[in-house]
Structures are given as C-alpha cells and as structure tokens.
Structure 1
Amino acid sequence: MSGIYIHIPFCKQACHYCDFHFSTSMRNKEAMILALANELKLRKTESNEIIETIYFGGGTPSVLTNSELQFLIDAVYEHYKVSGNPEITLEANPDDLSEARIFELANSPINRLSIGIQSFFEDDLVMMNRAHSSVEAKKSLALATKYFDNISIDLIYGIPGMSNEKWKYNIETALSFGIPHISSYALTVEPKTALKKLIKTGKIAEPKDEVAQEHFQILVDTLQQNGFIHYELSNFSKEKYFSKNNSAYWLGKKYIGIGPSAHSYDGISRSWNVANNLIYLKNIEKNILPSEAEILSITDRYNEYIMTGLRTIWGVSLRRIESEFGAKYLGYLLEQAQKFLSDELLSIENNILTTTKKGKFLADGIASDLFLVNLD
C-alpha cells in the first residue's frame, strides 16, 4: 500500500470554481473526525503493506485543530504499518496559517504543507471567492518557509482578465519565497458551480483556451529556467521534492481514501465513498462502509495507464503495454499514436512514449484519442 488519503469535507466558504465535496457548516465536525477514525479502523484489513504517505485533502483540512489532526494521525499508526519517515501532507489555506499555527504544525508529525495561494492579486481572489487576501497569501509563505522545508503552493492560470504580465508576477512572487514545489492548473468551468452561473449571466467572462495555453508555456519556461522539473502536467518540483503521494497515484500504486467522496484503488478495483456528510456519518456509526466499487477491466486499466503516463515524465512504457495488456493493445496504441508522432506532439525514446514540449499542454486530449472502448 502506498498511502492513505483523508478527505476533510469542510470549508469556511465556497470558492466559485470548486466542485469538490465539502460543507461550509462546521456543525458536524467533531462527529466527522470520530467517523474518519472509525473508517480507518474498519478498513485496516485492506492493507498489510507499508504506508508511505498520509495526505489530508479536502475541503480545507487546515480548519481542523492540531489535536484533531493528531488524533487522525494516531488512528493511522494504530491500525496500519507506517514507514519510518512517511510523507505527511496538510492542505492549508493562507488565512489559517498564523505564525503560532505554523509553529504548532512544524512540531507535529506533519512534514509537508500544500498551500492554496491561487493568485497574489486581490481582484483574482475576490473573483474566485477565496477566503484569504493577497496580503495573507504572502505573509503565510514568509512564515511557512521559516519552519517548513517541504512546501507546495497552488496557482491558477487562464483567469479571465489575467494578462501575461500578471501571470509572470504570480510565478516570480512564488519563486521569491524559495518554494520547492508548485502545482498549477488552468481555471476550469465545472458544471453546478457558482463560476458556471456567473459566466452564464455575463458577470464573469469565460476563460479562453488560447490564454490558458499561453500562460502554461510561460509557466513551463520560467520554472524550468529556475531549476524546476516538470514531472507531471500540472506539477513542478525542485529535485527531491516530488510529491510522493501524488506520484504514487500516477504510477498506479495502491491507496485507501478515507472520508465522504474519497476514492480508493487496490490495483484491481476502484471504490468511492458516498459524497454526502450525513449519509456517511450514519453509515459509519453503524460500522457500515458507505461505498461503491467497480472491478477494472483490462481496457479500463489500459486507458488509465495511458492517461496517467502521458501526463508524467515517466511516460508510457511500450514494453509494459505489451507484457501487461498484450500485442493487440500495443499495436492499437502505436497505430493511434502515429499522427501525434508525425505532428511532433508525441515521441518514442527507449521504448517510452511521452509527450513533447509542444504536446504537453494537450496531453489529456491526446490520451483520450489513444483510449479504446473495447478490444477483443
């Protein structure tokens, strides 16, 4: 087992672009923490492997107190075999990171912070309905870097009205703090979000793909010039600071997802918990796991490997395709890939299929063209 993901389904307020599962009501926070610990106990027989990573995601995990986080970490250690030096990540928002809080976290088992900055500009933060200000964003990084070495931040590009100059300023500001890991995503308009409604009513302009692509190239060029490795489509890291948790997902390792809406993978099947806090709590109280599962077919596993492989520096191993999926799958892949190889969007070197610099921004679209529905 590679890791345990713990979903904390609470936020102070709803960001306009977010479609993750969360509640802005903290009324059931105490009951949820107890339920998360109980789910960890209920699922302890699912793993006899070493846990290498513990990841608190959400939602906003930093709304939990340090004692609440410690309670959940203790539950992991009680029921699972944990490595001697696991990567333990806490997703946090700048407004939760006072110096006292950061000092407290630095003296806990948590050894990696993932801070949701998104932008250093006040107008962007207001448009996205973020809970923090640009001043808090900078202050949180100034404080966090005093106590933590392993820090990642999130930045969003392709925001309507964001010029190349503003985007460059965001990147340069992040670099000025010596942050060793940056995750960066294009602003995406998801269904049933406030952003979707604001665009539909004309209050916010729709993000443009060409702007996002230009911002992406600026990001790639700037970070590579500053010694970052572009190891996954949306992730950039200094050497030795790759996210062990996320890398495990992309490399197909096993993981257990704890909490409402959390997903799990055991190498053969995928399962997911109900995305409803009250239903989750009622079931866990009865020692019932509120989850569904599916056995992944060989085609499902092929498609997932293509998707994750093309997003990473590790690419897609043609030898693995042949050995794990068979000659028919390899033949299909090479046939479908030919047009992208001709257009220099994909390349093959040492039997590894990867996206080129030109094709990297298009990785997900290229992968979908390499998928298959069925191959008998």
Structure 2
Amino acid sequence: MSGIYIHIPFCKQACHYCDFHFSTSMKKKDEMVLALAKEIGLRKDEFQDEVVETIYFGGGTPSILQIADIRFLIDEVYRNYKVIENPEITIEANPDDLTEERIIELSLEWQSPNRAKLNNRINRLSIGIQSFFEDDLKMMNRAHNVDEAKKCLEIATKYFDNISIDLIYGMPNMSNEKWLQNIETALSFNVPHISSYALTVEPKTALHSYIKKGIIPQLDDDKAQKHFHLLVEKLEENGFIHYELSNFGKENYFSKNNSSYWLGKKYIGIGPSAHSYDGISRSWNVSNNSIYLKSILENQLPSESETLSKTDRYNEYVMTGLRTIWGISLERIENEFGKIYFDYLNQQAEKYIEDHLLFVDDNILRTTKSGKFLSDGIASDLFLLNLE
C-alpha cells in the first residue's frame, strides 16, 4: 500500500484560487483531531493486511496544528497499522507558520508509546511558497509575505534535507522575466523538489468572481504554456527530473506519497473530503466538518464509494501514465484490459504520434517535450466510453 493521507480542514484565510475543503474557524480543532484519530482506527479493517509506506498531512493547512496534535495522529497510525521502517512522513506548511522554533519542533524525534524505540520524525516539508513577489501573494490572498517565504527556507534547509516548495505560474501580469526570477530564487535555496502548477480558475472561488467582474484580467493559456516550458528547461538544466507533469525532483527526492497515487497503489484518506482507494473501489468522505464530526462520533464512516469498472481503471491509467515519466505500458493495456482497449488506444494515439506529441519507446507510450503541457487534453482523447 502507498500510505495514509490525513486532511487537516483548517486555514487562517481563504486563498482566492483555492477550492479545497477547509474552514477558517478553529473552534472545532480539538474535536477534529480526536475524530481524525478515531477514523484512523475505524478504517484499519479495510486495510488490515497492508503496510503503510508514507504518511502525508495535507489540507487546508496542516502546519496550523500544534506539534502535539501531529505527533498524536502519527502515533495513531503506528498503533493501528503496520508501518515500514523509515516511512516518508510529509507535512504541508505555510511560510508564516514556520518560525525557527516551529521548524526545530517539527524536525525532532519523540518517544512513541506504541513502539519501543524513538518514533520516525517528520522527514519531509512541503512549503506553499507560490511566489517570491508581493503583488502575486496579495493577488492570491496568501497569508504570508516574501520575507517570511525566504526566511522560512533559510531556516528549514538547516534542519530538513527533504524539502519541496510550491510555485504557481500563468498569473495575470506575470512576465516571462518575472517567472524566471521566481525560479532562480527557488533554485538559490537548493531545495531538492519543486511542485509547480498553472493558476486555474475554479467555480465559486474569489478568483472566478474577480475575473468575471473584470477586477483581475482573464488568464492567458499561451502565457501559461510559455511559463511551463521555461520551467521545464530551467529545472532540467539544474539537475531536476521532470517525473510528473507538475513535479520536479532531484534523484532520490521524488514524492513517494504522490508517486504511489500515480502508480495506482492503494491508499487511505482520513478526514473530511479525503479519498481512499483499495485497488477496486474508491471512497470519499463528506466535505462538511460538522457532518463528519457527528458521523465519526457515532462510529460511522461519513463516506460514499464507487466500484471502478474496467473502463474506469483504463481511463485512470491513461491519465496518470501520460502525466508521468513512467508512461503507458502497451503490454499492460493488452494483458490487463484486452484487445479492444489496446486497439482503441493505438488508433487514438496515432494522430498525436504523427504530430510529435506522443512517441512509443520500448513498448511504452509517452508524451514528447512538446506534448507534456498538453498531456491532460491528449489523455482525455484517449479515454474510452464505459463499455460496461
């Protein structure tokens, strides 16, 4: 199994582009931590024979919790599941939460009541920088400023070897030169992993409203594509491997947690809005803190589920395969899904191969450099309607 994702549904304030589930009220924080711990126990029967390889705190803003809360939840994982030695334990954090005192707290080992020896410490930080320019941070309504972003990286690199930062490109009024400055600043801190995403407009977000009202200019897809290619070129020049559409890592620094999702491993999602996958079906928790807390208090999992058909699994493999360096194994398509799927994939891929957006090497279908930015759109054209 890949691991356990724990969703912390709290933030100090709402970023204008974000459509993830969270609350800006911390009133029920203590109740939520206890409920998350309880759900960890409630789900163990579903995955009792599996071994946990990664623990990932996402959100929301996990760094908003006290260190005691985080350690308590990690201990609950160890109490209920088999965990490999030295798992990857990641916490997402915002720069304004990462004082030197807090970073030291996060980096320390502690005595676990569930094991004879010291617990594995949190060993990976994922920091939401987004930009090193004040105007960008204000436009996105981020809680931190540029000084906090730079200061937290200066300190974090003293205590953590495995650090990832997030950057956003394709923003209004962001020139190519400004985007390159963002990349250069990120590289100056020698972090071994960078996740970078195009700014997207999600329904019901403040960004969607501001663009609709003309307060913020419309996003420019051509600009975003240019930024993407500049990013790929610059990071590859500096020893990063572009292993997934939005992720770049030095050798041995790929995200084990996220790589497991893309490789189709099983995982458990804990907390409101979190998803789980057992290899056959997917389930998802309710995106409502109050309903979630009430259900867990009653020993009920507040989730719905669906069983994935063969076509669903084919489509998901096509999507994740094209986004990664591992590509789509044509042999696996034929053996696991059958001749209809194999023939359809080859037929649909032919035009993209002719246009030099896809290529086949050693029976693996992958995107070319020109096709990487377009991989999601290409994948959707390779999808098959549900035959079942």
For normalisation by structure 2, the TM-score amounts to: 0.96
CA displacement, residues 276-314 of structure 1 (integer Å, 9 cap, x when unaligned): 000000000000000000000000000000000000000
User: Is the CA contact 2:312–2:386 (under 8 Å) kept in the aligned structure 1?
Assistant: no
Residue 77 of structure 1 is matched in structure 2 by 78
Q: Is this contact kept in 2: 1:318–1:352, CA < 8 A?
A: yes
Kindly state the Cα deviation for residue 375 of structure 1 after the two structures are TM-superposed: 3.5
Q: CA deviation at 1:374?
A: 2.8
Alpha-carbon displacement from aligned partner over 1:306-365 (angstroms, at most 9, x marks no partner): 000000000000000001000110000000000000000000000000000010000000
User: What SS does the aligned partner of 1:16 have?
Assistant: coil
Deviations 1:236-263 (A, max 9, x none): 0000000000000000000000000000
What displacement does 1:207 show?
1.1
**Match for 1:6: what amino acid?**
I
Show CA shifts across 1:47-105 (max 9, x none).
11110000000000000010000000000000000001100000000000000000111
Partner of 1:256: 268
Which piece of structure 1 moves more, 46-55 or 269-278? 46-55
The question of whether the paired residues in 2 share the 8 Å contact of 1:232 and 1:313 is answered with yes
1:356 aligns with 368
Q: Could you tell me which amino acid in structure 2 is paired with residue 329 of structure 1?
A: Y
Contact 1:273 1:290 in 2 (8 A): yes
DSSP 3-state at the match of 2:19: coil
| Residue type of the alignment partner of 2:58 | G
2:215 alignment partner, one of 203, 221, 238: 203
Who is 1:115 aligned against?
127
In structure 2, what is the Cα distance between the partners aligned to 1:328 and 1:84?
Answer: 43
Structure 2 counterpart of 1:163:
175
Q: Is the 8 A contact 2:239 2:250 kept in 1?
A: yes
Structure-2 residue corresponding to 1:30: 30
The alignment status of 1:68 with 2:96, answered yes or no, reads: no
2:114 corresponds to: none
Contact 1:93–1:115 (CA<8 Å) still a contact in 2? yes
SS at match of 1:358: helix
CA distance in 1 between partners of 2:283 and 2:218 (Å): 34
| Identical amino acids, percent of aligned pairs | 73
Asked whether the 8 Å contact 1:272–1:292 carries over to 2, the reply is: yes
Check conservation: 2:267, 2:277, Cα contact below 8 A.
yes
Of 105-114 and 24-33, the range deviating more from structure 2: 105-114
Question: Contact (CA 8 Å) 1:156, 1:186: kept in 2 or not?
Answer: yes
Corresponding position of 1:90: 91
- For residues 237 and 43 of structure 2, what CA distance do their matches in structure 1 show? 45
Task: Provide the residue aligned with 2:5 in structure 1.
Answer: 5
CA contact (8 A) 2:357 2:368 kept: yes
- AA aligned opposite 1:16: H
Return the alpha-carbon distance in structure 2 between the equivalents of residues 266 and 323 of structure 1.
21
Find the partner of 1:188 among 163, 184, 200. 200
Equivalent in 141, 147, 154 of residue 142 of structure 1: 154
| Alignment correspondent of 2:45 | 45
Quick one: which amino acid aligns to residue 98 of structure 1? T
Q: Give the total of aligned pairs.
A: 376
Q: Does 1:131 align with 2:132?
A: no
Q: Note the alpha carbon deviations across 1:165-198, whole angstroms, 9 max, x for none.
A: 1100110000000010000000000000000001
Partner of 1:14: 14
Aligned CA RMSD, in angstroms, stands at 0.6
TM-score with structure 1 setting the length: 0.99
Structure 2 unaligned spans of 5+: 110-120
Q: Map of 1:97-108 to 2, 5 A cutoff?
A: 97-108=98-109
CA contact (8 A) 1:329 1:375 kept: no
User: Given the alignment, which residue of 226, 239, 262 partners 1:214?
Assistant: 226
